[in-house]
Amino acid sequence: DTAVSQTPKYLVTQMGNDKSIKCEQNLGHDTMYWYKQDSKKFLKIMFSYNNKELIINETVPNRFSPKSPDKAHLNLHINSLELGDSAVYFCASSPRDSSGCTFGSGTRLTVV
Amino acid sequence: GESVGLHLPTLSVQEGDNSIINCAYSNSASDYFIWYKQESGKGPQFIIDIRSNMDKRQGQRVTVLLNKTVKHLSLQIAATQPGDSAVYFCAENIAGGSYIPTFGRGTSLIVHP
């Protein structure tokens, strides 16, 4: 009974393609996030959604766009993929008054 | 931005020893701090948290210490076990209604049997 699930787990694609990563949480949390983790394990927040409103976007290229059809889902769309987009992307969620985030298991994106 | 060529800090300990992982945070307005453990191939997992009105909090085999004067946080793991081997992150949250955790660099803990 996975709390935060993201698909696919692995994604290999060519430069220039458009791809999506899906995320769903069944915890009833108010806020969902997307993080990017590079090869040096540095975790950088990309987006945060609270009740379907974008509340933070940290200098992420506009090729990346989050889409939230409802409170339980936050998908990540990436257009015109570049080599530098290769990383592990984590979805997470937290309650409004936060007792920490619950993370998904990650999607390893490789752009070739 | 990140520094090119900077390796992940590593702490190597023997099984049974106590481990101390340190973290410096930058924003004096941060009022909520969390430690996460990330095992290989998995997402970060919540370990313990502490709010700024406390300076110490204990969990099962773990203790977090907060020194607001020098903006320093530490995670102490008692009787470290091989299963504790992972990358540990501290995260700071800034008050304001929406908790947006900002992660520190991470420390790799290696426990030798």
Express each pLDDT in B41-80 by its tens digit. Answer: 999 999 999 999 999 999 999 999 999 999 999 999 999 9
Binary contact (A56, B103; C-beta < 8 A): no
pLDDT one-digit tens code per residue, A42-92:
999 898 888 767 877 768 899 999 999 998 999 999 999 999 999 999 999
- Report whether B106 contacts A43 (CB < 8 A): yes
Binary contact (A106, B105; C-beta < 8 A): no
- Nearest Cα residue to A26 out of A48, A4, A56: A4
Alpha carbon A107 to chain centroid, angstroms: 9
Tell whether the model's pLDDT for residue B23 goes beyond 90.
yes
Tell whether the model's pLDDT for residue B37 goes beyond 90.
yes
For residue A4, which residues of chain B lie inside 8 Å, CB to CB? 43
Q: Phi and psi at residue B41, in whole multiples of 5°?
A: 80, 5
Distance CA(B7)–CA(B12), nearest Å, equals: 15
Say yes or no: B2 contacts chain A, CB-CB below 8 A: yes
Which candidate from B34, B43, B108 shows the least CB-CB separation from A105?
Answer: B43
A10 to chain B: closest CA residue? B41
- Report whether B45 contacts B38 (CB < 8 A): yes
Say yes or no: A92 contacts chain B, CB-CB below 8 A: yes
Say yes or no: A90 contacts chain B, CB-CB below 8 A: yes
Which candidate from A40, A90, A96 shows the least CB-CB separation from B2?
Answer: A40
Which candidate from A41, A102, A105 shows the least CB-CB separation from B8?
Answer: A41
For residue A45, which residues of chain B lie inside 8 Å, CB to CB? 100-103
Residues 31-70 (A) with a CB less than 8 A from some CB of B: 31, 33, 35, 38, 40-45, 48, 50, 55-56
Residue A8, pLDDT score? 98
For residue B8, which residues of chain A lie inside 8 Å, CB to CB? 40-41
Tokens 């592990």 map to which residue? A88
Binary contact (A40, B6; C-beta < 8 A): yes
- Nearest Cα residue to A66 out of A53, A58, A76, A80: A76
Residue B95, pLDDT score? 61
